[in-house]
């Protein structure tokens, strides 16, 4: 988080620096979490949306940050976890 903010400061407004912090996403990398029903049940119990994310949802966050719609967003971390980090 601090690296993102520091790089944004160093960019001086000429370069925007943001980060995406995904929660549990249904990828091969995280299969140990979502592939085990007991672990998955614990993960889902902590997520207000009651599900894990899919790669397209993280990609959409990245596309937003890279778009003109986020032209005034700089030095931020966009958490894509279905609210699970707030529990």
24 within domain boundaries: yes
Q: What is the pTM of this model?
A: 0.87
Q: What is the CATH number of the domain that holds 9?
A: 3.40.50.720
Number of domains in the chain: 1
34 within domain boundaries: yes
Can you read off the two tokens belonging to residue 33? 């979490």
Choice between 5 and 86, residue whose per-residue pLDDT is larger? 5
pLDDT, one tens digit per residue, over 11-69 is: 988 999 999 999 999 999 999 888 999 999 999 999 999 999 999 999 999 999 999 99
Domain that holds residue 77: 2-82
pLDDT at 86 over 90: no
Contact 82, 25 (CB under 8 A): no
Choice between 86 and 67, residue whose per-residue pLDDT is larger? 67
87 within domain boundaries: no
Can you read off the two tokens belonging to residue 62? 């990245």
68 within domain boundaries: yes
**Calpha distance 69→54 (Å, rounded):** 22
């Amino acid at each position: 988080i601090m690296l993102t903010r520091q790089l944004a400061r160093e960019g001086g407004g000429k370069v925007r620096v943001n980060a995406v912090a995904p929660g549990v996403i249904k990828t091969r990398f995280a299969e140990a979490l979502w592939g085990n029903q007991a672990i998955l049940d614990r993960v889902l119990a902590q997520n207000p949306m009651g599900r894990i994310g899919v790669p397209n949802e993280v990609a959409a966050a990245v596309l937003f940050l890279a778009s003109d719609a986020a032209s005034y967003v700089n030095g931020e971390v966009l958490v894509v976890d279905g609210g699970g980090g707030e529990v």
